[in-house]
Amino acid sequence: MVLATLGLSFFYNAWSSNWVMTIIGAVTILLFTETFAIYFKHHPKAWRTIRLIVLLILMALFLISFI
């Protein structure tokens, strides 16, 4: 997904837009947080809560990037 975003942003000359950087940052943070799922496999409720909080923060950042 990141490679597709990079490729399309280069093709459409949208490399320096806030949208592209927000999407790349969101995917990076999401993949980074998913690496912690291994550590929380014995505490699935805690992991769901943490993942929900991170997802809400990412969605807020995504909406803020349109302003």
Ordered DSSP codes for 1-67:
-HHHHHHHHHHTT-TTSHHHHHHHHHHHHHHHHHGGGTTTTT-HHHHHHHHHHHHHHHHHHHHHTT-
pLDDT for 65 equals: 73
pTM attached to this predicted model:
0.51
pLDDT in tens, 7-43: 777 777 776 777 777 777 778 777 877 787 777 878 8
In the block, which residue shows the tokens 């280069």? 10
Look at the chain and report how many structural domains it folds into.
1
Write down the pLDDT at residue 67.
65
Q: Which domain holds residue 12?
A: 2-64
pLDDT of residue 47: 85
Report the pLDDT value the prediction gives residue 37, as an integer from 0 to 100: 76
Average pLDDT of the segment spanning 43-67 = 82
Distance CA 67, CA 59 (A): 14
Contacts of 46 (CB under 8 A, 6+ apart): 40
